Amino acid sequence: MNIYVGNLSYDVTEDELKATFEEYGQVTTATVIKDKYTGRSKGFGFVEMAEAEGAKKAIEALNGKEYRGRTVKVNEALPKQDRPRTPRTGGFRN
């Protein structure tokens, strides 16, 4: 099960995120989303857990709780949706 973790402190590492969720079950992956230009955390991430039961326990236990000085939002991640490509406008025209 894939879990969204929002409102993370900007200095939380993937290892810390993984360790927090391992208390509730086996973590397959833990990813902190970073800005592609600066490499700085965007303040959210995703945790994938092997078993749905452990994931549900983690969501119940951590959602709305304080973690590293911030109240985090933890819920089941929605599937990524394809967004239609729109042509970019602007720039120079003659």
Q: Which helix (H) or strand (E) holds 19?
A: helix 14-22
Query: What pLDDT does 57 receive?
Result: 97
% the chain with pLDDT above 70: 89
Contact 8/73 with Cβ under 8 angstroms?
Answer: no
pLDDT tens digits for 2-30?
A: 999 999 999 999 999 999 999 999 999 99
pLDDT tens digits for 57-94?
A: 999 999 999 999 999 999 999 887 776 776 666 666 55
Domains of the chain as residue ranges with CATH: 2-76 (3.30.70.330)
Residue 31 has pLDDT above 80, yes or no: yes
The separation between CA 13 and the C-alpha centre of its own chain, rounded to angstroms, equals 11
Query: What pLDDT does 88 receive?
Result: 66
Extended strands (E) in 1-94? 2-6, 27-34, 41-49, 66-67, 70-71, 73-76
Cβ atoms < 10 Å from Cβ of 22? 15
Contact 47/29 with Cβ under 8 angstroms?
Answer: yes
